[in-house]
Amino acid sequence: MSDEVQVTVTVNGRRREARLEPRRLLVDYLRHDLGLTGAHIGCEQGVCGACTVLLDGRTARSCLHFAVAVDGSDIRTVEDLADLDELHPIQEMFHQKHALQCGFCTPGFLLTTVELLERTADPDEAAIREALMNNVCRCTGYANIVDAVAEAAVELRRRSPT
């Protein structure tokens, strides 16, 4: 189409160029053009957080951004957290603490946790609950997620003592 716009972004460390319709949502670009289906669409209303990605290091709802509007940004998705052999410590703690059931909300919670623990190495329970309050999970009842985040904080501090 003639009204397509050139976009260049870095996604999970890799430079990507595309010509996109201005209205193409970032989440659709990631999921359906790049095959990064870890960000999920739960509402497209900016409420559920299932589509959360890291945009220049900050959590963002990829359902609320047009892909062309994030031209030049650095994007990190859930697919970037683990390496082939090992889960990221946050993921590992979600596993250990049974912090996921259907797993649909989980990528959003993981990336929200990445942001939280980058800012606050040792959050208390209230801070964790506050940080997670804009992500909705309908399966777990949150308690195990809160535990997993607390344990992940311990593990990350153990790995890189300041």
Binding site residues, ligand FES, CB under 6 A: 41-44, 46-51, 61, 63, 100-106, 137-140
Of these partners, another protein, ligand FES, none, which one is at the site of residue 61 (CB under 5 to 8 Å by kind)? ligand FES
Total residues in contact with another protein, by rule CB under 8 A: 55
Torsion over CA: 82, 145, 75, 121 (sign): negative
Shortest spacing between CB 162 and another protein, in angstroms: 26
Cα 21 to Cα 145: distance, rounded to the nearest angstrom: 37
Of these partners, another protein, ligand FES, none, which one is at the site of residue 65 (CB under 5 to 8 Å by kind)? none
Strand arrangement of the beta sheet that strand 14-20 belongs to = 14-20, 5-11, 74-76, 52-55, 58-61
x/- contact string, 101-140, with another protein (CB under 8 A)?
xxxxxxx--x-----------------xxx-xxxxxxxxx
End-to-end, the C-alpha distance of the chain in Å comes to 52
* Structure tokens given for 111: 């990336």
66 makes contact with another protein (CB under 8 A)? no
Shortest spacing between CB 124 and another protein, in angstroms: 13
Tell me which residues touch another protein (CB under 8 A).
21, 23-24, 31, 36-45, 47-48, 50, 77-79, 81-82, 87, 91, 94-96, 98, 100-107, 110, 128-130, 132-146
